[in-house]
A = this chain, B = another copy of it.
Amino acid sequence: MNGASQEPSIIESVARRARVASRAMLSVSSSEKDAALSAMREQLSKSKDRILEANVADISAAKARLAEGKISASLVKRLELGGAKFDGVLTGIASVRSLGDPVGECSLSRQIDDGLQLYRVACPIGVICVIFEARPEAAVQIASLAVKSANAVILKGGKEAEKSNAALVEAIRAGLKSVNFPEDAVQLVATREEVRELLDQSKCIDLIIPRGSNALVKYITNNTRIPVMGHADGICSVYVDETASPSKAANIVVDAKAQYPAVCNAAETMLVHRSALNTVLPVVGAALAEAGVELRADAASKAVLDSVKGLKVVDVSAVDYDTEFLELILAVKVVDSVDEAIAHINEHGSGHTDCIITEDEGAARRFLGMVDSAGVYHNASTRFADGFRLGFGAEVGVSTHRTHARGPVGLEGLMIYKYKLLGNGHTVKPYVDGDKVLKHKDTPDQLPPL
């Protein structure tokens, strides 16, 4: 599209400025990054009135669209930045600031030969593009992680939060500027049309993190050659084994399905061992009835569940086992063994998080080993699959990919490494000619002097 013009487009300029900022950030110290985070926080606090004014404008526009039936009430709710939420945003920056500096961590130190020393040292990936919908506080959280990890970030927010995001990023950049931190470390692009052009900036963008609907993630994965980190579906399963404790099963299934059904780590399928049909399933069914969950059950489980008082049960159809309901609906299937449960999950799951409820350690071991998902849980709710709950301090997203980072991704997922090799005039020729031999001695206590 830009072939005829020599002038870079707005998006090209944004991407190039991000690359320049990312290069400049290669020399910032830990204390400069922490000062930048403090300045961001201070500036956001000072700009609170202006930000909330912008947020109110977004919310009224969204309410008008809600009245027209164009967006959902939950989307309007997620836009809100006022009250305790704003304080939470500020606290979040302090919490990222308090994390250890991930840059410079040395994960390998090896003597290659006398006077020739190798180090593998953590460094930022470079330029990250995060595409997110609604939830304007995500802009602040991601910007904090970017600054802490010395990555430049291009934020592409949703249309509904346009004014809120603009006010937040304006304050963030003012904060960065006030302490002479590269302000292009955080940039915002807003309109929907720009996504396509962002996906073409493979020279200046190193990683795209989409946070949003399935449709968004799939569109992005299919339309860029930049690496993508994220997840499309979140089809999590809970398997109730033959030795499952009925009370643990009831508690965990209800928590995994009903505690907050609209999220990717909520359960969508319950697998039940045939031997647990008459012992455990009625207890779980009663708890699900109380939680208002509708079950879509196969014949064997329906025969049992139909007699649970107040429980809505309908016949399952094949597509239900591949569906992320994101509401109070749970597909149910009976299996004859832990291996059948494993096979079902590996075939129909999305590699996000799956749980076995059992008192049998052998079955748990097999399930945890053979289920090919980012999270494999024993007697614990799938809802724990979250960077904050697992203690990563902050989260850029959950990855169901099998490279780079998997599961809930915190600061570590924004890092890569470089190899530093320090010599004294070393050449490969004597080793190739066989005059000298490489030593390859690990020296874990030695840190890079340069």
Contact = CB atoms under 8 A, between A and B. Distances in A.
A112 B408 CA distance: 15
A120 B239 CA distance: 21
Interface string A222-263: 100101010000000000000001011001101110011000
Q: How many copies does the complex hold?
A: 2
A438 to B, nearest CB: 6
Contacts of A422: 364, 377-380
B375 A423 contact: no
A381 B450 contact: no
A85 interface: no
Given A373-B418, A450-B368, A384 B426 contact: yes
Interface stretch (A42-50, A167-175, A277-285, A397-405): A397-405
Interface stretch (A55-63, A65-73, A156-164, A427-435): A427-435
A381 B126 contact: no
A193 interface: no
Most chain B CB inside 10 Å of its own CB: which residue of A255, A389, A403, A419:
A403
Interface residues on A, range: 35 or more
B403 A207 contact: yes
Interface string A180-206: 000000000000000000000000001
Contact of A427 (B370, B381, B424): B381
Contact of A432 (B259, B369, B408, B417): B259
A178 to B, nearest CB: 24
17 contacts: A26-B369, A26-B372, A27-B366, A110-B391, A112-B384, A112-B389, A227-B403, A254-B427, A255-B427, A259-B427, A364-B422, A368-B450, A375-B419, A378-B421, A381-B423, A391-B438, A391-B440
